[in-house]
Amino acid sequence: MFEPEVRRRGVLVEEVEVRLGELDAFGLLDEAPAEIVARLAVTGDLSEALDGAVHVQECAPESLPLKVDLFERMDALADAATTLASSSSSITVSRIAAGLPGRARCILAHPGNPPYLIRVVELAPAPFTAPGTVDSARELFSGAGMLPIEVRQEIDCLVFNRLQGALLREALCLVRDEVVAPADLDLVVSEGLARRWSVIGPLAVAELNTRGGIVAHAGFMGRAYGRIGMERGQDDPWASDVVQRVAEDLESRFPSSRRDDQVLWRDRELMRLESERRRRSD
Ligand SMILES: NC(=O)c1ccc[n+]([C@@H]2O[C@H](COP(=O)([O-])OP(=O)(O)OC[C@H]3O[C@@H](n4cnc5c(N)ncnc54)[C@H](O)[C@@H]3O)[C@@H](O)[C@H]2O)c1
């Protein structure tokens, strides 16, 4: 780990050790925490950190000039085969690395927080990123037990934060208009929507919740969703061709001929989570 701040350098390994202890207590590690800690080293010297690195995961503060400077230095120092990945939540790799001689090995690899528990990591290449860079990042994250998702276009804030942002925007409107108390709004998500989303995503929820799947759901809710979007100044009706495209994808993942089994599976997954939750709170 490269860390320019002396104070942070002094506490980093200890912070990792604490997290590893927690993960170990839940049986989530394959190795003893001490064995993992023994592989860590912290330095304030960038070239020392880059020496022999296969993949760099840049996690510096969210500032364009800072990241541009850091990538310039890394591109000059790192071996030509090293992948340079930024964790940035809102800055594309095009903006960070377009001017670099080694820009083909640069990519955005955006994790969710905490990255040691959220498996999804969004890979967002720039048009200049080499396909081999995407492949090796995908392989590395998969090998580490993570779930790399490829974002097909360089879009501001990627998918994770766009979805989160849409929900937060509406949440703040509902609180602003005194429709609901903030604590109750949080409960609607943590005890309601997110429970289902911890098993299947929102498109699959629409498919399994309604007899006739998402096409039927669009039939009786699509117009209402379009209307509430308009209320917020967003004119994105549920277009039937898009719904159809999603329905075809859902059919391949959740064949309608096995609908009852899939609903039962979803409920059992939720039961498993609920039972674990009750066991832990005993
Ligand atoms: N926190 C999140 O939820 C989250 C999630 C996904 C992605 N990210 C992204 O990860 C990056 C880091 O976010 P964070 O919340 O961990 O920030 P943070 O402020 O907690 O940590 C940043 C670290 O970078 C160090 N640093 C400062 N200047 C540096 C430099 N010039 N070179 C290298 N390191 C430097 C700091 O000392 C600090 O240890 C951001 O780009 C952010 O968008 C954050």
33 Cα–ligand 1 center, Å: 24
Query: Per CATH, the architecture of 160-281 is what?
Result: Orthogonal Bundle (1.10)
pLDDT tens per residue across span 59-112: 999 999 999 999 999 999 999 999 999 999 999 999 999 999 999 999 999 999
**Residue 282 pLDDT greater than 90, yes or no:** no
pTM given for the model = 0.94
Mean per-residue pLDDT for 224-235? Answer: 95
Name which CATH class applies to 45-150: alpha beta
- Could you state, in order of their start, the residue ranges of all structural domains in the chain? 45-150, 160-281
Mutate to test the pocket of ligand 1, among 3, 19, 48, 59 (most ligand atoms within 8 A of CB): 59
Closest CA to 57 of 144, 184, 172: 144
* Cβ of residue 136 lying under 6 Å from some atom of ligand 1: no
Q: Whose alpha carbon is nearest atom 3 of ligand 1?
A: 113
Reported for 270-278, long-range contacts at CB under 8 A and 24+ positions apart, including other chains, are 270/195, 270/196, 270/199, 273/195, 273/198, 273/199
Provide the percentage of residues in the chain whose pLDDT is more than 90. 97
Measure the CA–CA gap between 266 and 282, rounded to whole angstroms: 25
What is the arithmetic mean of pLDDT over 116-135?
Answer: 97
The predicted model gives 4-13 an average pLDDT of 97
What's the confidence (pLDDT) of residue 245?
97
Separation of alpha carbons 173 and 134, rounded Å: 38
The token pair at 265 is 């599976």
Question: Side chain identity at 129, as an amino acid letter?
Answer: T
Q: State both tokens at 241.
A: 């061709």
Q: What is the DSSP letter of 71?
A: H
For residue range 141-182, list pLDDT tens digits in order.
999 999 999 999 999 999 999 999 999 999 999 999 999 999
Q: Give the three-state DSSP class for 149.
A: strand
pLDDT in tens, 255-272: 999 999 999 999 999 999
Residues 77 and 51: their CA atoms lie apart, in Å, by 9
